[in-house]
Amino acid sequence: MKRTLHALLLALFLGAVGLGIFIHKLTASEVPFFPNQAFNSWYVEAKISFSSQPSPLSVDTDLPSSIRFHLPQDSPRYQIVAENFVNQGFDRQIETEENSTNRVATFTKQNAENASEFIFYRANIERNTGFTPIEEEVPISGRRLVDKQMVRFGTNTERVKENLAENLPVTEIVGLIKEAKEKSSDRFSFAQQIYQLALQTDDIRIQAVSRNVRKPDSTVQIAAFLLERAEVPVRVGNGIFLRGEEVYSTDFVEWLEVKDGSRWLALDPVDQTFKEQNRYLTWWYGTDRVLTATGANNVDLAIVVQPNTNDGFTRTVLENETAISPFLEYSFLRLPLATQRVLQILVLVPIGALIISILHQMVGLKTFGTFTPILISLAFRQTGIIVGIPLFILVVIIGLLFRGYLNKLQLLIVPRLAAILTATVLLVGLLAVVMESLGIQLGLSVSLFPIVILAMTIERASLMWEEDGAKDTVIAGLGTVLAAVVGYFCMVNDYVQHWAFVFPELLLLVLGINIMVGRYNGYKLIEYFRFMSLQKQLNQAER
């Protein structure tokens, strides 16, 4: 009794501290209580990786490494709230190009060493108020067009420019412009017609023209090229699409803008109208590459977009450099993006653990291993539950068959476990390849599926099979899946994710509940069934 009281007091204390900080945060700052469903804020992180080793063919070995990188710019729709760089060892210079809104960052380093290096750029983007969150998704009919405009970084040759000047397919150009002019009345309808023509990739005139632009597949560039020939003020916009879901590596999208008086209007490829560009985050204008490098090779660029659900909180943290509350000062949101992503998952683990302890102590669910289900539910978070459950069951069944076979060879226990582990890795790899070729996107998620956990599950399951028979194994297997599913739905919940990450002090409450569950001496749910016959006997005896 004394211990139970002690535990109760401790739990109450922890709960009170957790709730106290939580309420303080809520009242003293603008931290939103509910997760922000309409994404109004994003993190954009660009990672430039390269090797600063001078090319062995270069005569001038002392050439300094220099990277010119376009930066995103404010647009009517999006605003860059904050940005920062990680460019150790490099000088950084940011300038705005003449006669344009393009911003360029130049990173230079005098003494190029033989080393692979990284430059990080991170920006916090917000949707401007006034722009209501219109539908994010492109309708399916327009999807193909938008996809067509997705261009990959790094396909470029300098020769195109020379070709452009020397071998202009004049007849074809004149023909195309004439055709478009006949069907149009003003500048915009002309631009629309040109764009329509540029879409006809089987037209030999377009094919001739496409050889003269930098990206032969780009409808936008072909159209812009033709419009320039017809002396229409035109420019190519480059940007990225900010989605509601996390994108690990996104591509740039191109669009066409035509000048109307002092405004630039963009052609919406979906409904063929000109309006202010409000779909993409503008990165730069023109047909230049997003980055150019000298004195460096193996240059690569990856752009990560992460919607920020904790909009208000980020704003609170970022705008008030010295935050009002020490709890905000030392919040998770000040950490680097990669660390934040790890923590977002990490804070869910205690929630899963609480669910497991309730399922074990109060329900009496049997599982393979105690905390295996949490790891499986974390894996489900990656794969999605519809793919996750069959995948899990499939891998475990195939693994069991393999183990059954190994059993015949009478291998010793540790090498056998290692063999199962190896087989599991191969199996998951094979499944990923097969799924990919069937068009089921698993790619990234499968690689994060905790393979060791799978192998251990297989080993436990097969041991149980031998020791306790098929029935117990199936029961424990179903228990594992059930616990994983329950855990999954608790962890995947927007509110749980938001509260656990933004209000980590609530985990003290979780800790308190856990301590209370630890002193629960009542019956488990399954014991009512286990002692069913005894209860019946005793109830009869009473009468």
Partner 1 sequence: MLPFSLQRHGILGINARNLDYLFPNNPRQLYRLADSKLETKKIAESIGIPVPETYGIITFQNEVKTLPKLVKNCSSFVVKPGKGSGGDGIMVVKEVTESGYRQANGSVMKSDDLHYHLYNILGGMFSIAGQSDLIIIEAMVQFDRVFEKIAYQGVPDVRVIVYHGVPTMAMLRLPTKVSDGKANLHRGGVGVGIDLATGKTLAGIQNNRYLDKHPETGYPLRGHQIPHWETILEMAAKLGDRTEFGYLGVDIVLDRDKGPLLLEINARPGLSIQIANREGLTERLQTIDRALLKLSDIEEKIAFAQENFARD
The gap between the terminal CA atoms of the chain, to the nearest Å, is: 34
Of 391 and 456, the one with the shorter C-beta distance to partner 1 is: 456
Of 122 and 519, the one with the shorter C-beta distance to partner 1 is: 519
Candidates 346, 463, 478, 513: give the one binding partner 1 (CB under 8 A).
463
Of 57 and 541, the one with the shorter C-beta distance to partner 1 is: 541
Candidates 111, 157, 467, 470: give the one binding partner 1 (CB under 8 A).
467
Q: Provide the CA 216 distance to its chain's centre, in angstroms.
A: 30
Question: Does position 386 bind partner 1 by CB under 8 A?
Answer: no
CA dihedral 324, 330, 336, 341 (to 10 degrees): -110
Find out whether 508 and 499 touch, Cβ atoms under 8 Å: no
For the chain, count helices (H), then strands (E).
20, 14
Of 3 and 159, the one with the shorter C-beta distance to partner 1 is: 3
Of 489 and 520, the one with the shorter C-beta distance to partner 1 is: 520
Q: How many other C-beta atoms lie within 10 A of the C-beta of residue 429?
A: 13
Q: Which residue has the tokens 């396909």?
A: 155
Looking at the DSSP bridge assignments, the partners of residue 118 are 49
Q: Which residues contact 382 (CB under 8 A, 6 or more apart)?
A: 388, 444, 445, 448, 449
Question: Does position 543 bind partner 1 by CB under 8 A?
Answer: no
The minimum distance between CB 518 and partner 1, in angstroms, equals 9
Q: Give the binding range for partner 1 (CB under 8 A) out of 106-114, 233-241, 272-280, 525-533.
A: 525-533
Question: Does position 364 bind partner 1 by CB under 8 A?
Answer: yes
Question: Does position 129 bind partner 1 by CB under 8 A?
Answer: no
> Among residue numbers 397 through 416, which ones bind partner 1 (CB under 8 A)?
410, 412-414
Q: Which residues contact 89 (CB under 8 A, 6 or more apart)?
A: 109, 117
DSSP structural state of residue 254: E
Question: Does position 520 bind partner 1 by CB under 8 A?
Answer: yes
The minimum distance between CB 509 and partner 1, in angstroms, equals 22
CA distance 158 to 43: 33
Question: Does position 541 bind partner 1 by CB under 8 A?
Answer: yes
Of 33 and 523, the one with the shorter C-beta distance to partner 1 is: 523
Find out whether 29 and 325 touch, Cβ atoms under 8 Å: yes
Of 4 and 167, the one with the shorter C-beta distance to partner 1 is: 4
The minimum distance between CB 484 and partner 1, in angstroms, equals 22
**Separation in Å, CA 118 to CA 153, 302, 429, 502:** 17, 11, 30, 30
Residue from 366, 323, 338 nearest 471 by CA: 366
Residue from 314, 304, 248 nearest 498 by CA: 314
The minimum distance between CB 460 and partner 1, in angstroms, equals 10
Binding mask 309-348 for partner 1 (x = CB under 8 A): ----------------------------------------
Binding site for partner 1 (CB under 8 A): 3-4, 361, 364, 410, 412-414, 463, 467-468, 519-524, 527-528, 530-535, 537-539, 541
